[in-house]
A = this chain, B = another copy of it.
Amino acid sequence: MSSPRSLESNVLFLSGELTHVLHRALTSAFKKNRIAVTVEQFSILALLFYRDGINQQEIGANLNRNKTTITRVISIMERNKLIVRVTDKDDSRGNLIFLTPKGKAIQKRAIEHSGALYMKAISGIANTELAQGASLLTRIIQNLK
């Protein structure tokens, strides 16, 4: 419970590094395969795979992003015909977000590539170790909240 010897042995620093490396690897994989979405847009596509038709608040809550951010990313995705906004009939303040056929097609391909990248990321690492790591990160996150 003392300070780490160096940044390179600091779990918080390494977590930031991993986040960046993963972001770049995903961006690179999408570009290489001509999948025209950003990592952030992909996270919304992936969420909609399971929860098509949720509103922007729910997207923000699930992805842990400010609603301003969601407004703008969703606007770009709508402009690119990946999703559509439909005013909620039961509450006209809200927009329900639905995947378009184009959005579904892109999302399917993007999920395949992200899955492959995940397998590459954890290759050679035992499940027990991954579980321990998940437990550690979860506790650190809780400590910070």
Contact = CB atoms under 8 A, between A and B. Distances in A.
16 contacts: A1-B119, A1-B124, A1-B125, A3-B115, A11-B137, A15-B18, A16-B19, A18-B140, A19-B19, A120-B143, A120-B144, A121-B140, A125-B139, A130-B136, A132-B136, A133-B136
A123 B1 contact: yes
Contacts of A115: 3
Interface stretch (A20-28, A71-79, A102-110): A20-28
B12 A118 contact: yes
A122 B140 contact: yes
A61 to B, nearest CB: 13
**Stoichiometry, copies per complex:** 2
A129 interface: yes
B130 A143 contact: no
Interface of A is mostly: helix
A134 interface: yes
For chain A, give the interface size range.
Answer: 35 or more
B144 A1 contact: no
A87 to B, nearest CB: 29
A58 interface: no
Contacts of A140: 18, 121-122, 125
B3 A118 contact: yes
A64 B8 CA distance: 13
A14 B127 contact: no
Contacts of A124: 1, 139, 143
